[in-house]
Homo-oligomer: A and B are copies of this chain.
């Protein structure tokens, strides 16, 4: 059958992408997902627990208890990771609507999140990770965690660097 879409042809071409190459699409994709807001959005939509052993059995979720009130807006009840625009906006403190919308659109286009519009009185829009998005979230999560975990160490290194080498 001669009617094959470009997508199909690309799919079974199985090109071995290499982000080290300047013109490889994966380089561009890498640039797209290596983004602060992407990391935070994915983390927000996926922080219903560590789910380390995802493909297997028991995935325990991080106890959603944050004793000190302040922000208990995590909203991870039941079958989680499904947030409204305004929830995301509040969770990612300091994000501008432009960046939030723009990043969400990009994620939606790439098939990492789904956007669901519910025609209530004031319209309700929810975002949710797709399976693909979840797979990326698994690795992106690590970056955020790493940053939070090694902040102190980095601080000390910076101080050394700045004072020692003037």
Contact = CB atoms under 8 A, between A and B. Distances in A.
Consensus secondary structure, chain A interface: helix
A45 to B, nearest CB: 12
B153 A111 contact: yes
Contact of A162 (B35, B109, B138): B109
A21 to B, nearest CB: 5
A151 B25 contact: yes
Interface string A137-166: 011101110111111111111111110000
Given A20-B43, A132-B154, 20 more contacts: A5-B159, A10-B155, A17-B148, A19-B39, A19-B43, A20-B40, A20-B92, A20-B93, A26-B148, A27-B94, A30-B144, A33-B143, A33-B147, A34-B35, A34-B36, A111-B154, A111-B158, A132-B157, A135-B150, A138-B142
